[in-house]
Chain A
Amino acid sequence: MTKTFAYYPGCSLESTAREFELSVQAVCRALGIELKEVPDWNCCGASSGHSVNYELSLALPGRNLAIAEQTGMELAVSCPACFLRFKRTDYDLKHDPALKEEIERVIGMPYEGKHATRHIMEIIYREVGLEELKKRVTRPLKDVKVVSYYGCLLVRPPRVTGFGEHENPVMMDEMMDALGAQSCDWSGKIDCCGGSLALTRTDIVLKLVGDLMEEAKKAGAEAVICACPLCQANLDTRQSSRETLPILYFSEMIGLSIGLDPMPWFKKHMVNPVPLLKRKGLI
């Protein structure tokens, strides 16, 4: 049975996180989730919006939410930054009628918040489910040791994201186990990678990435699985150690295990995942 969602890709998935977009599209198609792109969407403002302009940080996502609402469908999002901006806008407007009126005036459209914004990971977890996912695996992941890296924006603040279990989420871990991988418990699950400071205070990101990679290796990980374009970019491009681990999107792992062709995605990575997966006999 096909479930249909309005879909917001976001700016990163059109360029630096291209493999995330390609794998999400391919996996959703294969699993019976139909994604209809929000027509003529604009950038949500990401971190820069709320960092320097509160009102703009609500109006930019607001325009997208209002357009998506007209489709009558729930809104699916792949990028956690965009996801959080939509959840925050919906939350703040619902808790402040005067603010809602103001933002509606600024965007020139009404917004009632009738349909939820949901992250692709949660959609696959709930709409497809672990049992169905297990059935679809044709290439079990041969116990490759992975750590699941959720990052910040998918889980915090918990009353806005509705993610639940924000100090020790297990959604991605359970999905990876269902695909045949071996999830390792580690302390860096929800630690910050430094986000957009990668461009302006690269030294901070180098330290945070270094700490994360050390924790991942301590846990015995052979790869880090993530859900965010900026986390993936930071981990993929800023590892200082010569022993680098590949950093893969959860959607790439799903795609690989259910028999889709992952090579167009893998060749976009800076740390090549192919040698590890070849060693494991997965490709």
Chain B
Amino acid sequence: MTEYTFKGQTDKGDEAFAREIREITRSRLDCCYQCFTCTAGCPVVFAMDYPPHQIIRMVQMGLKKRVLESKTIWVCATCETCATRCPNEVEIVRVMDALREMALKEKVKIPEPSVPAMHKIFLSLIKEMGRVHEISLLILLKLKTREFLKDMVLGMKMFKKGKLKIIPHRIKGLKEVKKIYDAVEGKR
């Protein structure tokens, strides 16, 4: 196993991890020649610990732990600016998606836990009702993050303006949606 020293830390490259990401994403990530275009256009790079081009480089090197435990993959806004401008058409967002999915599957330590918490709640609401009931999303997220007072005033204002639907709608085809979840989750 090759050892890589990057940003003052030495890790062993995990060839299997690099191969797995390559195969899952088919993203042309080996074509990346570190031109920095993705990083230059990324709107949230200021909030990242590793900019996008470094994530791609670390995947190439197989630095699994550092990539999966990064803040970067969770603050990525999936705006597709990077992938659109990449001269080698590397599917950077697809790589970020795969890294997030892997980070959750392998239960690594997540530095931005509220982000995956929100995604999980969002998807569980679809499983329960077929559609996302926004009040339920907000309440469940608050219970999870324990930030009860956050955006309270804003929430009340939106409620008064009739912007928050009170009664959730359960679709008739809920069984079909549950079947979809079972089929997808059954493989995990």
Contacts and interface: CB of A to CB of B under 8 A. Distances in A.
Contacts of B119: 47-48, 51-52
Contact of A200 (B24, B84, B115): B115
A72 interface: no
Given A11-B131, A14-B165, A156-B80, A204 B44 contact: yes
Interface in B90-146: 97-98, 100-101, 104, 112, 114-120, 122-123, 125-126, 130-135, 137-138, 141, 145
B31 interface: no
B105 to A, nearest CB: 9
A152 B179 CA distance: 32
Contact of B77 (A107, A166, A197, A203): A197
Contact of B180 (A106, A191, A195): A106
B19 interface: no
A18 interface: yes
9 contacts: A51-B100, A52-B100, A52-B104, A54-B24, A59-B183, A152-B79, A237-B154, A237-B158, A270-B157
Given A15-B165, A54-B101, A200-B141, 14 more contacts: A14-B165, A40-B171, A40-B172, A47-B78, A54-B98, A55-B187, A59-B180, A106-B180, A107-B180, A152-B81, A192-B43, A192-B79, A194-B44, A201-B114
B184 interface: yes
A244 interface: no
A48 B134 CA distance: 14
Contacts of B134: 11-12, 15-16
A192 B47 CA distance: 14
B28 interface: no
A156 B131 contact: no
Interface of B: 24, 43-44, 46-47, 75, 77-81, 83-84, 97-98, 100-101, 104, 112, 114-120, 122-123, 125-126, 130-135, 137-138, 141, 145, 150-151, 154, 157-158, 161-165, 169, 171-173, 176-177, 179-181, 183-184, 187
Interface in A236-283: 237, 267-268, 270
B41 to A, nearest CB: 10
Interface centre among A45, A199, A204 (most CB of B within 10 A): A199
Given A195-B78, A195-B79, A166 B163 contact: no
Contacts of B157: 270
A171 to B, nearest CB: 18
A156 B81 contact: yes
A201 B132 contact: no
A105 interface: yes
Contacts of A227: none
A41 B129 CA distance: 11
Nearest to A49: B123
A157 interface: yes
Nearest to B177: A42
Given A63-B176, A200-B118, A55 B163 contact: no
A196 interface: yes
Given A47-B78, A201-B115, A54 B97 contact: yes
Nearest to B46: A207
